[in-house]
Amino acid sequence: MSKLMQTLRLQPYWIALVILILLTLWVASGMLFAEQTDDAQARKEAKHRAPSLVSVRAERVNAQSVAREINLYGRTEPNREVTLRSEVNGLVEKIYVQEGQSIKQGEPLVDIETSDLLNRLKSAKSTLSQRKIELEGAKSLGQKGYQSKVNLAQAQANLETAASEVSTLELALSKSTLRAPFDGIVNERFVELGDLLKDGDEVAMLVDLNPLIISADVTESDVRALTLGQQASARMVSGDTVTGTIRYISSVSDMGTNTFNVEVALENPQNIFLAGMSTELSIPLKTTLAVRITPSVMALDEAGNLGVKTVVNEHVKFIPIDIVKSDSQGVWLGGMGEVTDVITLGHGFVRDGDKVKVTYIENDLIEQAK
């Protein structure tokens, strides 16, 4: 011990070093204790402090009975379309119609020159008269035993051949005037005065636009909901809306698209609507409860699904969209219950299941729709 004390007296800086180390340890222990105390206090305060809630604005909307619709894009077509052809040979002698002209059933379109037919008919009638006389003579001789049954049968056959020739020429003569087979419009005319026609040559194209047909393709998932005679509405490119009925549903799908052709017949007595126009077709189905919203309140969930965020018991609930129909004021969605609190503002900052602070606004969706 005396040796240690002697060393310390000779080298006093060791005493200072020991004192410095002890002071450092004392200060460090105090800071560590204080930090542990602060952490414990912070954890205690965080445990009792309520988390901050995101504020959203919502509107309580009531569902209404709405007819679910199938919306299709189609094209107008004629009810009937026929190309009229010549059934006799001859020159075009007279033309009664122009392209685009309306015509009634039975009215004439063109006359074909008939002088040759008249001459042949006159000759055939003379031959017919001769065959009648020959048959009468053969019968008279047969009764007296001077005419064989073979000759009598031949005379009968000659008479029938002559009568057939007369009938054929009279029929051809009646067809020398080409007439409209139904009410319609002369869409095209292929002949002019003086044209020489042969049997089978095209004369004119006649179309029937009443009823007007809208042809569209429906998906395989919707075709089973359609029935013949079902009501449908169509909106033309002009903005006019007309109603009609389904007259045809294809039983075989298109090989390329797996869609089924549907035809809707529309009354068009004045031929106001023409064939070849693009048309939006709406076919109402069964009635269901739906709420109307604006597309601006739609949002995506974490999986990328499009839907609407609602509030249930102060918690966000995401509902995938089920579009019933759409109109100029918004979109009607089904599967949302009779009464739904739809988030109209702040839906981009909350997720499904989050607790939120809700402020309800009257008629918010209706005002946005306007």
Say which CATH number the domain at 159 has: 1.10.287
Token pair in block for residue 184: 């319609």
Is the same domain home to 75 and 219? Answer: yes
DSSP assignment, residue 295?
G
**Is residue 328 one of the residues assigned to a domain?**
yes
Is the same domain home to 227 and 295? Answer: no
**Is residue 60 one of the residues assigned to a domain?**
yes
Q: What is the mean pLDDT of the chain?
A: 80
**Is residue 191 one of the residues assigned to a domain?**
no
Q: Given this model, what pLDDT does residue 6 score?
A: 59
Instruction: Kindly tell me if the per-residue pLDDT of 132 is higher than 50.
Output: yes
**Is residue 260 one of the residues assigned to a domain?**
yes
Q: pLDDT higher for 170 or 255?
A: 255
Residues spanned by the domain of 250 = 71-79+208-285
**Is residue 185 one of the residues assigned to a domain?**
no
Is the same domain home to 171 and 319? Answer: no
Name residue, tokens 């414990």: 40
Is the same domain home to 214 and 359? Answer: no
- In terms of average pLDDT, the best of 45-54, 162-171, 214-223, 329-338 is 214-223
If one counts the domains in the chain, the total is 4
Instruction: Kindly tell me if the per-residue pLDDT of 37 is higher than 60.
Output: no
Is the same domain home to 249 and 298? Answer: no
Which amino acid is located at 356 in the chain? V
Is the same domain home to 336 and 293? Answer: yes
Instruction: Kindly tell me if the per-residue pLDDT of 8 is higher than 60.
Output: no
Give the CATH number for residue 262.
2.40.30.170
Q: Which residues pair with 316 in a beta bridge?
A: 311
Vertex 234 angle, CA 233 and 239, to 5°: 130
Which one, of 77, 85, 76, lies nearest residue 181 by Cα? 85
The residue from 285, 314, 342 where one domain ends is 285
Name residue, tokens 């636009």: 209
234 pLDDT band, cuts 50/70/90, is very high
Look at the pTM and tell me if it is higher than 0.85.
Answer: no
Give the CATH number for residue 322.
2.40.420.20
Tell me the torsion sign for CA atoms 224, 229, 233, 237.
positive
**Is residue 27 one of the residues assigned to a domain?**
yes
